[in-house]
Every structure is written in C-alpha cells, then in structure tokens.
Chain A
Amino acid sequence: MDYYSQVILNSIITGGIYGLIAVGYSMIYSILRFVNFSHGFVAMMGMYFTYALSVQLQLPFFIAAAGGIVLTAFLGMIIERVAYRPLRFSFYLAPLVAVVGVAFFLESVALMVWGGGILSYDVKTTSFNISGLYITNVQIGILITLLLSVILLYYLIEKTTIGQAIRATADDIKMASLVGINSNRIVVIVFMLGSALAAVGGTFLGLETNLQPTIGLSVTAKSFAAVILGGFGNIYGGLVGGLVLGFAENLGVTVLPTVWKDFIAFGVLFIVIYFKPSGLLAKRQERGGRYR
C-alpha cells in the first residue's frame, strides 16, 4: 500500500510537470490548429536559461527560475515572429517544417553553449518521511508551484479580458477578428504564455531528473500525446492528459522491465492515436481548409 501511494505521489509530480508543458502546447494548438514541434525544445531552453542564471551567474534559484521563464517567453515571441507569422498563409507544410528547423536549431545552440553532458541545478535536497511517504523539499516546492500555476492560469483564462479574447479566438479565429479582437496580438500572447509554461515545466524536469540538451524531442512527443489524451479544443485538455501520462509511465515501470520503458511509452502513444483519430469528417474540413 505504501509502495503504491509513493508511486501515486511520483505520478502526480511527473504528470503535473508534463501537464503544465502540455497546456502551453494545447493553447497554441487549439487556437491555430498548428503542431508546434519546437515546444519541447523551448521547454529544454527554459531549463537551461534557469541553469545559466542560477549556476553560472550564481543568482538565487527562485530569481533565476523567474528570469528563465521571462527569457523563454521572449524566445516564444521570437519564434512566432520569425518562423510562424510570415508563413501563416503560405504553403500548408511550411510553418510545420520551419518550426522543426527552429527546434533543431535550439538543440544545436544548447549543445554548443552547454555541451552534450548531463548537468544539474545546484539545489540542496532534504528528504522528509511523512507517515511512510518519502518526499523532498524540492518536490514539495514543485507541487506548490504547480498548483499556483494552474490557479493563476485558470484565473488568467477565465476571468480577465485577455483570457476572454484567447477563448474567443480558440473558438473561432475568424469570428474573433470580426468582432474586433486583434488575432495577431493574441497569437503572440499565446506563444509567450505557452513558452513560459514550458519553461516552468522544463525547470521542474531539470529539478526532478537532470539537464540534457537532447530531451526536447521526447518532451514534444509527450506533450502531443498528453494533448491528444486530454482532447483537443480544450485549453486544459493537456493538463489532464499530462497527469494520465505521468501515471501510465510510473505505473508501467512497476510492472515491466525498465529497458522497454520507452518502447511502452511510444506504444501507448501509438495506441492512443489509433483509438482517438479525429474522424473522417474533421479530416475533410481540415484538408479543404489548408488550401483555401
């Protein structure tokens, strides 16, 4: 029993991190129907920005993390400006290919600046034993910040005018521009917000495990899986999907040999896509829409 409550706790932490990254991703997807391949790589950059500020510049960790998040938000803005906006009405594959380029560009930058080796944050961890459950101070911090981020996001999306505009744009981007919402501005905000969330998640990932420049790809894949699991068209879908994914991963390791862990993760992804394809009707509209 204790063993499983420990697994559940770990699942909530990993799942929450995935969920937070995935929310940023599903926001961009629900507004633009655009697969932002670079999202996981942006999270990776957020992770390293925090590292640069906290370890290399010796700033206190919380200030460094906040700085990392702000820097990543601006990175999101730059990506939107350079690789997405000019291609929005171009050949339908062009934006996707361009963000693939951006993703690998970011990875090569990280490899050049921070090297291919494994790094870690300089944070002291102490472990507590709460009635048989092991939890570290870092994990408690993560849980609290996760909760705060979700509440903040909820407030931003549901209660503010900007959130209202984002929701309207997600419902129907054309309609939103007709009623006077500046859709370009919303797209930039969403890119920045999504990237900031990715940076929070990336920093947490760095705290929970370690820092590697090559994790971008698997983070992208996992956020996409989370968004599919949670359901498209809903900004919070990614959060739910991320939690499900966290549970699947942690529970999977308890039953199956560890070497096949990645195989299982991608197998689950494959099965999910198979049983939740968007359906024939959606395809027709989508393909028609690309050309016109």
Chain B
Amino acid sequence: MLEANGIEKNFGGLKAVDNVSIKVKEGTIMGLIGPNGAGKTTFFNLITGFLSTDSGEIKFKGKDITNLEPHLISRLGMVRTFQQTRIFPEMTVLENLIVAPQDNVGEGFFDPIFYRKALKDDQKEKISVAVAILKDMGLYDQKDEYAKNLPYGEQKRLELMRAVMTSPDILLLDEPTAGVSQDYTDNMKSYIKKLKNERGITFFIIEHKMSFLMDLAEYLYVIDHGKLIASGTPKEIQNNTKVINAYLGTEG
C-alpha cells in the first residue's frame, strides 16, 4: 500500500534520513521505532509531504507521491497525527471533528450561495457521524468544550478521532502515547485495534517506547542515526542485538 525506496534527507551536511526503504501492507499495523533523535519524525514528514526529500521515491496505492503537497497526499487517503498534538485549540471538540471530513460541502467560495440545501443536509450528516464517534470513543460529554481545555491525553485522543473523521485508508501516528499516563496508553491501544478491525484502517506508528508496539504491531522497522538497522516481527526485534545496542547506546 505504502512504499518508500531509498529516502534521503540532509540538514546542512547532517544526514537525518539515510537511504531508508519501507513497505506497509494493507490491513496491518506496522511500527517504526528507534531511539530519540533517530530521524523517525523527519521520515514521517518526508512521506507525508511536509518536508521535501533529497532523493528516493515514495509510492502510495501504486501512485508516485514523492514531494507532493501535504494536503494532496492527505486527500489520497494517507492522514497523519503529530508528536506535539495539533488540535484546533479555540474551536470546540465537535467543531474539531466536523471540520475534518474531506468531502465536506460548503468549503468552497461559492458553496454557501449555491448549495444551501446540500450544505445543511451534509452538515447534519457529518454531525451525526461525529457524535457517533464521540459516543464510541468517549469525549461526548465534552463536545461543546474548547479543545484547549481538555487534558493532554484527551487532546491526543481528539486528534486521532479527527484524523479518523477524514475516512483515511492509512493513518500515520507520530508517538500517540508520548507524555500520557499508562491508562491512556492502554486505551489508545484498544482504540487502534478497534479502528483497524471495524474500519479496516491500516496503521503505521512511530513509537519511542518499544513496549507499546510489542503486542500491537505485526511488523517493525528500527532506525538509528537516520539508517534502517533492522526489521522484523516484534519477537525478532526484541532479540536483535543491533537494536538492543542502539537503545542502550543512547539511553545508558
């Protein structure tokens, strides 16, 4: 589904991402792990078009998307979240969700004039979809609260829900559990499983904490200093000496 070949990115002589190739299969949960500063987020920015690559090729659903603008990549069905959660703080929880769908009627300049009826019907439908998601994943009671007033963990949950509202084929999550409590981490795990089973969404997840992905992901890539150092099932990764050294090297 998603394929990247030989991706490279330099920041002023420093190789942030060095010849990385990955493949994400449809209907799976895959992970990208590595110590802090290994280039994981940079790699995500490259795939999603927020940074331009120096060399390499990215394919999504068979289409070349290398260096395409981020909103066009998102429209193809690949949606991401951010390590530093990016919600719309001065909008309510419900508004945060309603604004997300990509087939919203009424976002063009002439729409509010010419499609008044369609616009209203569409809004009604989107609200019910959003309400259903809110009831399903929590936060329904806070739906009219400004997003900035939510605790951090719930902001992360809101960001995920907002991404789901775009009906993506694949979701790229950048450290979905960074800075949240163990309870939230467990919750997040069950959401992701649920979304994969009920909506058939493919996941590609960055994590710093290896334990989070160990029983969630089916396949893991490991990068360190911008290079791919290993890949395999969680079991294989757990016993890979290169990986253990990389983690010990930076944290010990």
Contacting pair A288 B148 (CB below 8 A):
no
Q: In the bound complex, what is the Cα–Cα distance between A272 and B148 (angstroms)?
A: 36
Which chain B residues numbered 89 to 121 have a C-beta less than 8 Å away from chain A? 89
- Nearest-neighbour CB distance to chain A for B83, whole angstroms, equals 11
Question: How many residues of chain A get a CB closer than 8 Å to chain B's CBs?
Answer: 3
Instruction: For A281, list chain B residues within 8 Å (CB).
Output: 51
A274 CB–B CB distance under 8 Å: no
B25 CB–A CB distance under 8 Å: no
Contacting pair A288 B84 (CB below 8 A):
yes
Instruction: For A288, list chain B residues within 8 Å (CB).
Output: 84, 86
Contacting pair B84 A291 (CB below 8 A):
no
Q: In the bound complex, what is the Cα–Cα distance between A281 and B51 (angstroms)?
A: 9
- Nearest-neighbour CB distance to chain B for A191, whole angstroms, equals 30
Chain A: interface secondary structure? helix
Q: Which residue of B lies closest to A288 (CB)?
A: B84
Chain B: interface secondary structure? loop
- Nearest-neighbour CB distance to chain B for A180, whole angstroms, equals 26
Q: In the bound complex, what is the Cα–Cα distance between A283 and B116 (angstroms)?
A: 35
- Nearest-neighbour CB distance to chain A for B153, whole angstroms, equals 16
Q: In the bound complex, what is the Cα–Cα distance between A93 and B40 (angstroms)?
A: 34
Which chain B residues numbered 178 to 232 have a C-beta less than 8 Å away from chain A? none
Q: Which residue of A lies closest to B70 (CB)?
A: A280
Which chain B residues numbered 63 to 90 have a C-beta less than 8 Å away from chain A? 84, 86, 89
Instruction: For B84, list chain A residues within 8 Å (CB).
Output: 288
Instruction: For B89, list chain A residues within 8 Å (CB).
Output: 291
Interface string of A262-292 (1 = CB under 8 A from B): 0000000000000000000100000010010
Q: In the bound complex, what is the Cα–Cα distance between A141 and B86 (angstroms)?
A: 55
- Nearest-neighbour CB distance to chain B for A292, whole angstroms, equals 8
Q: In the bound complex, what is the Cα–Cα distance between A291 and B146 (angstroms)?
A: 13
Q: In the bound complex, what is the Cα–Cα distance between A40 and B244 (angstroms)?
A: 59
Q: In the bound complex, what is the Cα–Cα distance between A139 and B148 (angstroms)?
A: 57
Q: In the bound complex, what is the Cα–Cα distance between A291 and B91 (angstroms)?
A: 13
Interface string of B135-158 (1 = CB under 8 A from A): 000000000000010000000000
Which chain B residues numbered 33 to 87 have a C-beta less than 8 Å away from chain A? 51, 84, 86
- Nearest-neighbour CB distance to chain A for B171, whole angstroms, equals 20
- Nearest-neighbour CB distance to chain A for B11, whole angstroms, equals 10
Q: In the bound complex, what is the Cα–Cα distance between A19 and B51 (angstroms)?
A: 36
Instruction: For B148, list chain A residues within 8 Å (CB).
Output: 291
Q: In the bound complex, what is the Cα–Cα distance between A281 and B84 (angstroms)?
A: 14
A-B contact pairs, 5 of them (CB 8 A): A281-B51, A288-B84, A288-B86, A291-B89, A291-B148
Chain B residues within 8 Å of A, Cβ to Cβ: 51, 84, 86, 89, 148
Chain A residues within 8 Å of B, Cβ to Cβ: 281, 288, 291
Smallest CB-CB A-B distances: 4 pairs: A291-B89, A288-B84, A288-B86, A291-B148
